[in-house]
Chain A
Amino acid sequence: MAEVRFQSVRKTFGKVTAVDDVDLDVADGEFVVLLGPSGCGKTTLLRCLAGLETVDSGRIHIGNRDATDLPPRRRRISMVFQSYAVFPHLRVRDNIAFGLKMQKEPSRVIKERVESVAALLGITDLLDRYPSQISGGQRQRVAVARAIAVRSDVLLMDEPLSNLDALLRLQMRAELKALLLELGATTIYVTHDQTEALSMGDRIAVMQGGRIVQLDTPLEVYDHPTEKFVGDFVGTPPMNFLAARVEQNGGGQVAQLSGGTLPLQGVGDLVGRDLFLGIRAEAIAVEAEPSDHAIRAAVVVNEPLGSHNLITVRAGTDLLKVSAGNHFFPEPGSDVWLRLVPDKIRWIDRDSGKAVAVTRDQAVAPA
């Protein structure tokens, strides 16, 4: 196992900058997820680490070695591809043994290792089959088995679950996480599925336009996005963003929203700025009756999701998604009252789209 370090890594394809000056340190045994929409450079970054792309500038270290100019086979990495890339002309057994054979391990070791890895992934019965004789989910297991059999320093995964159907993906996600935890492998995992990122990673690197815009623990990325983009991209539903303007009001401040006002305290440095008020659906209490400081909103649509109801409401000119109990069924067009939990509010500068630092204990408003 080893740590990984990207230093100012840059990669362009013609005029397109796929990876733009990325720095990233991954600790030994850590599970880092590269998350972003398609075309954000996450796969290119992974391929640079694998040696399948050469970087334009910058250095890549794996362990204590500078791997920037090494071919893939000398980097001590292994990779699970999106298409699995299981060799069709080799039996499952020989697929898993492929890397070990290339390392010229004695055949006794290869046999043992193949069997133990196959047992770990529950594919012992399939060892003598050809890939064309097994299902997609099983092929995915073969690809993982092949990658972990070589005991590489770093395990790379490029959207390994994206070709599975929803149910299998859910099952494999948990299984894969448990497996990687057990192996203690340094893992870099690329996905565009934010649920996968939140549920699996030790840390998430959210990427956009070839840059890492936020590198944090899943909870931090979810609760405290550093940019509007991150709040929009991470979480189902995305974070709500309301155009807001903070004004001084006696000893405290008040946020002017299009649908009403919200009294605040300790956000004096925000006064006079054009902002977005960012808040998660579950940090908004929905009530049928008006109360102090609650904002009136009209119900647009109610989507019962079993565990809770997802209600789309209009407050002033803003559309919000809020979550309510699964027995709350307001009529579309009727009014509800929203109470925003003040310490769950994230302030975003409207021009730059970046989060505005407000020390959290100051942001707490009166109950």
Chain B
Amino acid sequence: MSIRRRKQLSRVMLYTLAVILALWTLFPIYLITLGAFSTENAIYSYPLQLWPHHVTASTLSFFVNSAGVIPSLERSVWVLLITLALSLGVGLPAGYALARFKFPGANLLRLGVVGTRAFPIVILAIPLAATFIRWGIDDSVLGVAIAHTALALPFAILTTSSIFAGISVELEEAAMTLGCSRASAFARVILPLALPGLAASAIFVVVLSWNEVFAASTLTVLHRTLPAQVVAVLDQALLPYRFAGGFFLLAPPLVMIFVIRRFLFGMWGQVVK
């Protein structure tokens, strides 16, 4: 076989693999979206129609009007906002400190941060629930947000630290020789340069919190977040409800990722160096 043919073949195989992987991810997403925008009849029809004939919002509105959905949606948003504030509020300074300063125990801290993820949330959830009952924050938005922060914070610290480490110290020092304090050097030079990276870690936190179901289910009974609510009623739920619920969980992170990704690449255009 000639080298050229071999090259062509490996190219074909590469693309085939890429298509398979893409389908693997995209097909379920398509099915959920299809179901969410189809009529009830279409969902139950057999064989399944892969092309929507009647695009309708009736399934979605049925889901939104179901008992407990709107309040759980609101709670999910609150949990997400609190998680985001806590994760970045703590993670950003911690990441900066790890990147910029040599202090005793820095490596231990780094290890400890990763170590917190050694225990799966499945193991932590029960003791966490007991502790939250003692503190009186069980079955609350704050409780779930704290649990989500615990999940997201290690990632936030490590990613922000590598983002800050990737920005030359000399830039900060140059700002300081030109009239900045450390704080204003951070605000005027480092933060703008770190913003794309910080946005990326924010996306991760958002997606994690929005879709997290186990901790949310364990820690709440009456005041469930959206994923917990959907899972709780999944057994009794009708197919349209499941599709619409799935779509609600799926859509916001996808939109986040696509919108912010475009924004990230457009921002400085080039790698910071």
Binding site for B on A (CB under 8 A): 50-52, 71-73, 77-79, 81-83, 85, 87-89, 98-99, 102-103, 130, 132, 146, 150, 156
A88-B272, A89-B192, A132-B269 given; A103·B174 CB < 8 A: no
Which residues of B lie under 8 Å from residue A146 when comparing CB positions? Answer: 174, 178
Chain B, residues 167-184, CB within 8 Å of chain A (1/0): the string is 010110111111111001
B193 in contact with A98 (CB, 8 Å): no
Q: Determine if A78 and B177 form an interchain contact, defined as CB atoms under 8 angstroms apart.
A: yes
* Inter-chain pairs besides A71-B176, A82-B170, A85-B171, 19 sampled, C-beta below 8 Å: A51-B176, A71-B181, A72-B176, A73-B176, A73-B181, A81-B174, A87-B174, A87-B175, A88-B270, A89-B189, A89-B192, A89-B268, A99-B178, A99-B179, A102-B179, A132-B268, A132-B269, A132-B270, A146-B178
A73 close to B268 (CB less than 8 A): no
Instruction: Give chain B's interface residues, CB within 8 Å of chain A.
Output: 168, 170-171, 173-181, 184, 189, 192-193, 268-270, 272-273
- The listed residue (B171, B180, B192) touching A102 by CB distance below 8 A is B180
Chain B residue nearest in CB terms to A81: B170
**Smallest distance from the beta carbon of A19 to chain B beta carbons, Å?**
18
A73 near B173: Cβ-Cβ < 8 Å: no
With A52-B173, A85-B170, A89-B193 given, is the CB distance from A102 to B269 under 8 Å? Answer: no
Q: Is the CB of B176 within 8 A of A98?
A: no
A contact residues around B189 at 8 Å (CB): 87, 89
- The answer on a CB contact under 8 Å between A87 and B177 is no
By a CB distance below 8 angstroms, the chain A residues around B171 are: 85, 87-88
B131 to chain A, nearest CB (A): 42
- Nearest CB of chain B from residue A156's CB, rounded to whole Å: 8
Q: How far is the CA of A176 from the CA of B111 in the complex (A)?
A: 48
CB-defined contacts of A73 to chain B, threshold 8 Å = 176-181
Smallest beta-carbon distance A194→chain B, Å: 25
A-B pairs with beta carbons under 8 Å apart, 5 shown: A73-B177, A89-B268, A102-B184, A130-B269, A130-B270
Residue numbers in B under 8 Å from A130 (CB-CB): 268-270
In the A-B complex, the 6 residue pairs with the smallest Cβ-Cβ separation, listed nearest first, are A102-B179, A85-B174, A99-B178, A132-B270, A85-B170, A72-B176
Q: Are A88's CB and B179's CB within 8 A?
A: no
Q: When the two chains form the complex, which single residue of A50, A82, A88 contacts B177, counting CB atoms closer than 8 Å?
A: A50
Q: Is the CB of A98 within 8 A of B173?
A: no
User: Is the CB–CB distance between B178 and A102 below 8 Å?
Assistant: yes
Q: For the complex, give the distance between the alpha carbons of A23 and B177 in Å.
A: 23
Question: CB-CB < 8 A to B193: which residues of A?
Answer: 88-89
Residues of A within 8 A of B184 (CB): 102
Most buried by A among B177, B180, B273: B177
Question: Do B175 and A98 have beta carbons less than 8 Å apart?
Answer: yes
Complex Cα–Cα for A81 and B175 (A)? 11
Kindly list chain B residues whose C-beta atoms are within 8 Å of the C-beta of A72. Answer: 173, 176-177
Measured between beta carbons, the chain A residues less than 8 angstroms from B181 are 71, 73
Name which residue of chain B comes closest to A50, CB basis.
Answer: B177
Question: In the assembled complex, how far is the CB of residue A136 from the closest CB belonging to chain B, in whole angstroms?
Answer: 11
A78 contacts across to B, CB distance below 8 A: 177-178
Residue of A nearest to B173 (CB): A52
Cα separation A78 to B174 with both chains bound (whole Å): 8
- Cβ contact within 8 Å between A150 and B272: no
Cα–Cα, bound, A89→B179 (Å): 18
Please give, as numbers and ranges, the residues of chain A lying within 8 Å of B175 by CB-CB distance.
Answer: 87, 98
Give the complex CA separation of A211 and B29 in angstroms. 68
Nearest-Cβ distance from residue B4 to partner chain A, whole angstroms: 38
Known: A71-B181, A78-B178. A85 touches B192 (CB 8 A): no
Closest CB-CB distance, A73 to chain B, in whole Å? 5
A138 CB to nearest B CB, Å: 15
Complex: A88 Cα to B193 Cα, angstroms: 8
Set B168, B177, B192, B273: member contacting A77, Cβ < 8 A: B177
- For the complex, what is the distance from the CA of A50 to the CA of B177, rounded to whole Å? 7
B177–A83 touching, CB < 8 Å: no
Say whether B273 contacts A88, CB under 8 Å.
yes
Contact (Cβ within 8 A) A83 B176? no
Contact A98 B178 (CB under 8 A): yes
